[in-house]
């Protein structure tokens, strides 16, 4: 289940990173991942903005799955992560 959360995140992240709205996103003190989500969230396009905001939420799931020993509701988070990743990819297509 942890891998499902992580793989969902990276599928969405790579789609976002390669999207034209994230071109030129400069790494901030929070790193390149946050820079990509911030660039999308700050765009003028409503779909891209929504994708950026969803990505900001998805990164929290991924960090918990990767680094927390105790992760209550892991199955729910895995399913939710898959849905969010699908939404992000659709919004950026």
pLDDT of residue 21: 75
84/16 Cα distance (integer angstroms): 13
Residue 28's φ and ψ, nearest 5 degrees, are -100, -175
The pLDDT of residue 75: 96
pLDDT of res. 10: 97
CB-CB contact of 56 with 9 (8 Å) = no
Q: Which pLDDT score, from 0 to 100, does residue 19 have?
A: 86
Question: Structure pTM?
Answer: 0.90
What pLDDT does 30 receive?
67
Averages of pLDDT over runs of 10 residues in the chain (93 residues) are: 96 92 71 88 94 96 95 96 98 95
């Amino acid at each position: 289940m942890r891998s499902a959360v992580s793989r969902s995140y990276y599928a969405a992240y790579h789609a976002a990173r390669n999207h034209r709205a994230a071109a030129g996103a400069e790494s901030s003190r929070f790193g390149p991942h946050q820079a990509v989500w911030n660039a999308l969230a700050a765009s003028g396009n409503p779909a891209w903005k929504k994708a950026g905001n969803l990505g900001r939420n998805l990164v929290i799931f991924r960090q918990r799955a990767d680094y927390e020993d105790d992760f209550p509701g892991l199955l729910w988070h895995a399913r939710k992560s898959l849905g969010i990743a699908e939404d992000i990819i659709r919004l950026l297509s």
